[in-house]
Structure 1
Amino acid sequence: MQAEVRLLDLVGAMEDLKAMRNSVLREIELQEGKGKQRTQKVQAWLDKVEDMDQRTNQLMIDFSRCCVTGCCSLNIYSRINASRKATNLKKEIDELMKEKIHLSVLAKRRLSNPIIDMPISTTNVGIKIGSNLCDVCNWLAAERVGIIGIYGMGGVGKSTLLKEIQRSKDVLNMGFDYIIHARASYELHAEDLRDCIAEQLLLCEPSREAIFKFLKYKNFLLLLDDLLEELDITVLGIPDPHDESCVTTPYKHKVVFTTRSKKVCDCMKADEMIKLECLDKDEGWQLFKENLAIDLEGMPFIEEAARKVASFCGGLPLALMMVGQAMSKKTAPAEWNLMLDQLQGRLSSSLCETMFIYLKGSYDSLANETLQQCFLCFCLWPKNKLILIEDLIKCWLGFGLISYFDSISEAYMHGCYIIKVLEEASLVITHDNRTVVEVHEVIHDMAQWIASRAEGDHKAWFVKQNIIFEQLSSEEMETWIQLERVSIINCDMNSLPELKRQCLSLLSLSIQHNQRLENLPKIFLRQMPNLTYLNLSSTGIDELPTEITHLFNLEFLDISHTRIKSLPHELGNLKKLKCLLCGYLFLGKLQAGLLSNLCNLQVLDLYPYGCVEPKELKILRGFKSIGMCASSYEILQQLSHLPIVNINIQEIEGLRTIQLSSLTSEGHGWPKEFQIRSCTTIQNLVITQGTKISLKFLRLFHLPKLGSFVWRIELKEVLPVLQLVQIEECHSLTSLHWVLHLPLLRALLLKNCDAMEELVNGEVGEIEEDDVITTFPKLKYLTILGLPKLVKISHCALDFPHLSEVHLEGCPSLKRLPFKPGIVNNRGLLVKCEKKWWEKLEWDDATVPSQFCSNSTEDEEIANFFVGGVPPLGHKDFLGIFRFDEVML
């Protein structure tokens, strides 16, 4: 009877275990329906349960057979043996039930490849790929290098380089016992990565301890792809190559990882880093052809279309490979025309949507929604367009994405931090010492793709750009009813049709750089009553529409660089207005009482000609940013109590000396743009020790007695970010040698300075003892007009490493240009001057003038001489970047 009792206990325990197994299976089915997969531990437990069920059934069958044979001694022995087996099986079932309790995770996120696999080149294409691979191989061979980081924007070829490293003969010959390749992402956790690593190492137990114990005394190379944030590799069981206990061993422990963020490289303490850039035009074409798999010889139309398609990919390897493979072996002209149409309107292309899903990882990696919305704001600018960082920050201010700041300088610093974060995420590229920013055209298309599918403030967009036309179509205007963000930039239109219906969803309207647009339809603004952001800058509008007073929710208004000469008193009805930008308008004094009615106003820019009644200046003390004109002693004396950003001192007589340190207090920061105009008694401009200036633009006009600049501090410290110096009609000024080494000076414009004989007086060596420092390190534009006594620019030849345009007229005494022989290597250097004067120039090196070509006829007095094959961007582009007022020139 004892055997029967134990067998019954076994069957009951087995039924309980099977019920537990069925519960686990139901939970796993639910998780698998959500895209997860059962863990290895759970599957092992389920296999043990299945084995236990079979063993239990077999024991019951054997016991029933022995009972049929009768009660002989053999039967008694079998019953005792069955009883003992039942007891042991019951113990194993109890252990399995306890083991189930410790299975806290039944299913995990599916371990898989990215949504799309990065196409891999079958050969090393281009100099960059081979060079990067060579660098990594050299670093892997070096004892001091343990961790290598590879970073760059999505699709630039990081995964490709990692796989090239994995199969490189040089790496295979380095004696690694194991080369482990794992992909990290937000979809995978440390446990998933340990499973992947353990599987490649053929370990039964994917624990941290087991992996560490196995690898500590092995030579290994870990290739970790697509790391989106900092990861402690010791959590994976990987011995840290920087750990002393690992460094002192004779074993090679190496880690190479890829990421989209330089910040991750820093956090991972990479010993060496590589930033992958887009391919140049020739390399991009070679990669495209490789994936195209078509012999283009004898097919000129296909080759022409293929080059156009390749150019749309902007040197991004992912785009070149995917589009090339999609067009592989297609020889029908209609197929290529269709692809061109898809690329010109990428959002309709399923191929490009697949690519955007891959690229979106950089966007998803941003820490919060505010950063993501800051990035999506790039949708408001055209593709392939450099964007002034200040314009971008103003946009973020207007949208409330930068909201907490005590001064405009603090807001600007916050904006620069955001740009740095976006750059580290490989979403944007900064140029010209972080003054302008651009987005790769494929990343720009991805942003539009995201914005078109997003919810909330950025769920609907309309962008019109780079088109010359008379007006928007009525059909396009009708779509505004569903939109929240509308941007019309550089369209050169002369009118807008009237909106027939109200656009209640519209929150932001930006109509910029449309000089032919002189007015808005009468009821235009009334049809968008919920507007909070309105940008009409750089248009031909000469009067602010009275309908603006119906925009009761308006918080941001930019009418800078327009022809508007006065503000309506009714503007005071906009109680929610926080930011009013009127820069470069011929505004006079604001109407009395207007500022007191704008109770929420924090940012006011009336620079350079607009000003405030002296008795209302006390209202401005609570503001965060002010730009204005100071045309009296009374206003000038109060500047130190105001947060001045841009200041124009104009027509104040009796001033002999101006000290920049007296214009504003340290708590408010220092002006970014400083102008003095028509102050006929000023003799000296003084900057004293302790002055910290963020001055970017310095303009001096009609200061006939200004004879000297007094610098009582190192120039590089006092003017570290000065980009523009413009001086006109300063008839007593004899030299400007202090501009020689300004680190960021991009433009120098001199006009009608009668007394100047030498721009940089004395020997260069006398000015700067350290001859390693380059002269004019960033200067791009040099304009000298109407300096009749100018004999020489400098006593000796100067460096101009970035010079692209020189304009010289009205300098009859100037016989030599201070160009070193190497100046001819400057790509696209343009010299605009009088042709007869050019022909009479004297040269220390006779080969210099022979390098220049003229694009003028013999009849023209003014000729353009350029070197480098193609003339550089003209003055208009430069003026557009720096926002020169044409009247000033």
Structure 2
Amino acid sequence: MEVTCLGADEAWDLFREKVGEVTLESHPDIPALARIVVERCRGSPLAVSVIGVAMAGKSLVQEWRYAVDALTLSAAKFSGMEDEILPVLKFSYDSLKDERVKLCFQYCALFRKGEHIWKDHLVEYWVDEGIIDGKEDRYRAEEECYDIIRYLVRACLLVEHQYGNAVTMPSLVRELALWVASNFGEEKENFIVKPNENLGEVPNVKDWGQVSRMSLSENKIKKISCSPVCPKLRTLLLGSNNLEKISSGFFMCMPNLVVLDLAANIGLRELPDGISRLISLQYLDLSHTDIKQLPLASLKELKRLQHLNLEFTGFLKEISGISSLSNLQVLKLYASFDLDINLVEELQLLKHLKVLTVSGGDAYVWEQLMSNPRLASCTRNMYFYKCEAGETGISIAATSSRLEDLTMHESNIREIKIDQSSPKTMCNFQYLVKVEISECQGLLDLTWLLFAPNLGWLDVNESPQIEEIISKEKAARFMNGEADETMMPFLNLKHLDLAYLDQLSSIYWSPLSFPCLMKISIFGCPNLLRLPLGSSSANGCNLVIHGEEEWIEELQWDEEDTKEQFTLKGRKSEPVAAYPQNQSELEMLRKRVVDLEEENRSIKQRLERIERFLWQQQQLQQARAHQQPTTGMLPPQTVIHQQRQSQRTPPDMPSKLDK
């Protein structure tokens, strides 16, 4: 499973780097013991890294002697195993700080090999299954989950995606997790993990009574008609199949099922009545399905249900009566049922609600939602679509401090207003990581983003009236006349995309520090001739600026030295010779191919999101008019799903884009 193998010197150098010189020098006997530990790793870079991190900070010689004994014992005990590195890696598993972290680690093995696992999905699973207790304080539990992910990344048991929103589990570590979860191979049916294996039906299991977690996602299962007896089953992942029908008997004997994921089964139009038998169910994901109505009579029997995801369910006709699910903590309605005044009234009845995602609705309805401090504080994702606010603008309550994602599309909103009664203390959207504005009329600026200190992704396009991103005049009003050089927005910004903003002339009035910024993409902004970049803006980061070649040539810089610090990449290219004349030309061609692939992927992602939004809205309108969906035409959601099944690419954007 390991592609490369390190030599003795390379392995020792890597181990020293991971464990640290301070630890190695803390006792005269430790270096010799450390050499033995490295030998046990058999040249595996992963094993060397994982064990090195596990031993970092262990300054007692007794700890090192124990490590040598443990690694020797494991190797002898499991010497008949196909891969002898697993017993070595088990030492790092045994070193994890508590049983909850070990369970979280095992959970990551439910996803297919090499898959990018969204961090927020892991957090939801862990909290709603109860591995991390969130009954009293869900926010604290979520923070603890993110801390566990960071801990597993530091331990080299997970690898963080470059944008920080996803992780992967190395193949060998995944084998370790499955091995441990199966009681070291003794109980192989404890974890049934068969994602992306081209299955057409639920696999045969010798002893359903032993199954505690099952992952059958990304297969081709169309119908489920079996009636297994699963007294221990807690997690069932069936997302991204071709499910159309689930028999009532399937859920009859799963009394301890806590997590049920049916997301991205676009042929699934109804749930069986037997779902009412899932008396322990706490998490139900129906996002990206074609479900037409909620069987509330059955769902009301699920007294423990606390997480219901209905995002991107365009066929859903209504959700009146949702307040009967009185224990809900999480309700996700993003790009599904439009917000209306009746829904706002029902939401007010959900006394335990902690997380809410919403979309649609007119300005009056949004004002009613924002005027309720509890609902405003619950709102994580907001999607304005064809919202008419005109001159009055729209308000985002200062109590919306948990807002993470804001999208505005095809709306007429002149101003985004916030409560300015005490801006320095009350308005702090510290969790807001992504803002996307597209095809909006009337907006002149986005100065309110001064109050989003952790914004990571800003995408503004086809909004012709925008003149400034941050207005100095309005910033002064927000800050009681104190708009000065001490204001430092965008300190956590990673991506800035601006496209087809005819009137845009300024992002910010002076150079800013961008310690995290990796990419600026600017196209179709002819009046933007100066960027807020100075000699210290990038602070060592490899900042790449994309734009039309003509625009890049016309950019104005305070100092020529500043220009040299950034990588400038023009879209328009010169004619290319039939064959490269030298090595440098060949390297240039390779770089251009990479750039074009990146731009193409970005365009496809944007097109996918727009198509999905538009199609969902179309289906919603048809459903309200009691019309049947148009036949003979494959909806974009279907096409997108098929594309994802055949060819999956790593996530390039924050996790809130695509659930």
Question: Which bracket does the TM-score occupy, shorter chain normalised?
Answer: 0.5 to 0.7
Match of 1:644 in 2: 379
Match of 1:520 among 242, 245, 258: 245
Match of 2:636 in 1: none
CA contact (8 A) 1:614 1:634 kept: no
Match of 2:96 in 1: 366
1:822-841 maps to which residues of 2 (within 5 A)? Answer: 837-839=572-574
Q: CA deviation at 1:425?
A: 4.6
Match of 2:281 in 1: 554
Structure richer in helix, relative to its length? 1
CA contact (8 A) 1:458 1:485 kept: no
Determine if the alignment matches structure 1 residue 471 to structure 2 residue 200.
yes
SS in 1 for 2:152: helix
Aligned partners of 2:175, 2:335: CA distance in 1, in Å? Answer: 38
Aligned partners of 2:650, 2:357: CA distance in 1, in Å? Answer: 23
Gap change, CA 1:584 and 1:138, over 3 Å in 2: closer
Match of 2:518 in 1: 778
TM-score, structure 2 normalization: 0.67
Q: CA deviation at 1:450?
A: 0.8
Q: CA deviation at 1:536?
A: 1.7
Match of 2:503 among 755, 779, 798: 755
Determine if the alignment matches structure 1 residue 721 to structure 2 residue 454.
yes
Paired letter, 2:467:
T
SS in 2 for 1:577: coil
Match of 2:124 in 1: 394
Match of 2:261 in 1: 535
Match of 1:680 in 2: 412
1:312-351 maps to which residues of 2 (within 5 A)? Answer: 350-351=80-81
Q: CA deviation at 1:613?
A: 1.8
User: Number of residue pairs matched?
Assistant: 547
Alignment deviations for residues 383-417 of structure 1 (CA, whole Å, 9 cap, x no partner): 22332211111110232112235454322211122
Aligned partners of 2:166, 2:123: CA distance in 1, in Å? Answer: 11
CA contact (8 A) 2:238 2:263 kept: yes
Aligned partners of 1:744, 1:553: CA distance in 2, in Å? Answer: 40
Match of 1:55 in 2: none
Q: CA deviation at 1:603?
A: 1.7
CA contact (8 A) 2:279 2:301 kept: yes
CA contact (8 A) 1:555 1:578 kept: yes
CA contact (8 A) 1:685 1:710 kept: no
Gap change, CA 1:434 and 1:653, over 3 Å in 2: closer
Determine if the alignment matches structure 1 residue 767 to structure 2 residue 511.
yes
CA contact (8 A) 2:380 2:404 kept: yes
SS in 1 for 2:518: coil
Alignment deviations for residues 804-835 of structure 1 (CA, whole Å, 9 cap, x no partner): 896x6xx79746497966777x9xx9x8x5xx
Aligned partners of 1:885, 1:134: CA distance in 2, in Å? Answer: 37
Aligned partners of 1:681, 1:644: CA distance in 2, in Å? Answer: 20
Match of 1:598 in 2: 325
Gap change, CA 1:380 and 1:528, over 3 Å in 2: farther
Q: CA deviation at 1:731?
A: 1.7
Q: CA deviation at 1:360?
A: 1.6
Alignment deviations for residues 218-255 of structure 1 (CA, whole Å, 9 cap, x no partner): xxxxxx9986996777xx8xxxxxxxxxxxxxxxxxxx
Match of 1:576 among 293, 304, 323: 304
Aligned partners of 2:29, 2:335: CA distance in 1, in Å? Answer: 48
Alignment deviations for residues 349-398 of structure 1 (CA, whole Å, 9 cap, x no partner): 93346533332222223343222211110121122233221111111023
Q: CA deviation at 1:605?
A: 1.6
1:95-114 maps to which residues of 2 (within 5 A)? Answer: none
Determine if the alignment matches structure 1 residue 450 to structure 2 residue 180.
yes
Match of 1:731 in 2: 464
Paired letter, 1:488:
L
Alignment deviations for residues 560-612 of structure 1 (CA, whole Å, 9 cap, x no partner): 233445433333332221111223433778533332x2132222121244346
TM-score, structure 1 normalization: 0.51
Pairwise CA RMSD? 5.2
Match of 2:160 among 407, 430, 440: 430
1:618-697 maps to which residues of 2 (within 5 A)? Answer: 618-629=348-359, 631=361, 632-633=365-366, 635-642=368-375, 643-650=378-385, 651-654=387-390, 656-658=392-394, 660=396, 662-664=397-399, 669-684=401-416, 688-690=423-425, 691-692=427-428, 693-697=430-434
SS in 1 for 2:593: strand
CA contact (8 A) 1:226 1:257 kept: no
1:42-81 maps to which residues of 2 (within 5 A)? Answer: none
1:377-392 maps to which residues of 2 (within 5 A)? Answer: 377-392=107-122
Paired letter, 2:412:
T
Match of 1:853 among 589, 607, 631: 589
Match of 2:143 among 397, 413, 428: 413
1:272-283 maps to which residues of 2 (within 5 A)? Answer: none
CA contact (8 A) 1:625 1:645 kept: yes
Match of 2:38 in 1: 160
SS in 2 for 1:623: coil
Aligned partners of 2:272, 2:218: CA distance in 1, in Å? Answer: 25
Paired letter, 2:213:
R
Gap change, CA 1:838 and 1:562, over 3 Å in 2: farther
Q: Which has the higher contact order (CA 8 A, sep 6+)?
A: 2
Match of 1:20 in 2: none
Unaligned runs of 5+ in 2: 42-50, 472-486, 556-561, 577-582, 606-648
Match of 1:462 in 2: 192
Paired letter, 1:755:
Q
SS in 2 for 1:512: coil
Aligned partners of 1:136, 1:577: CA distance in 2, in Å? Answer: 45
Match of 2:436 in 1: 699
Aligned partners of 2:410, 2:229: CA distance in 1, in Å? Answer: 49
CA contact (8 A) 1:159 1:225 kept: no
Q: CA deviation at 1:626?
A: 1.8
Aligned partners of 1:795, 1:849: CA distance in 2, in Å? Answer: 32
1:866-881 maps to which residues of 2 (within 5 A)? Answer: 866=593, 874-875=601-602, 877=649
Match of 2:632 in 1: none
Gap change, CA 1:741 and 1:637, over 3 Å in 2: closer
Paired letter, 2:518:
K
Q: CA deviation at 1:150?
A: 10
Paired letter, 1:536:
L
CA contact (8 A) 2:502 2:525 kept: yes
Aligned partners of 2:458, 2:596: CA distance in 1, in Å? Answer: 29
Aligned partners of 2:244, 2:463: CA distance in 1, in Å? Answer: 39
Q: CA deviation at 1:774?
A: 4.8
Match of 2:313 in 1: 585
SS in 2 for 1:708: coil
Q: CA deviation at 1:795?
A: 8.7
SS in 2 for 1:418: helix
Q: CA deviation at 1:870?
A: 9.2
Aligned partners of 2:171, 2:178: CA distance in 1, in Å? Answer: 11
Aligned partners of 1:349, 1:462: CA distance in 2, in Å? Answer: 25
CA contact (8 A) 1:589 1:613 kept: no
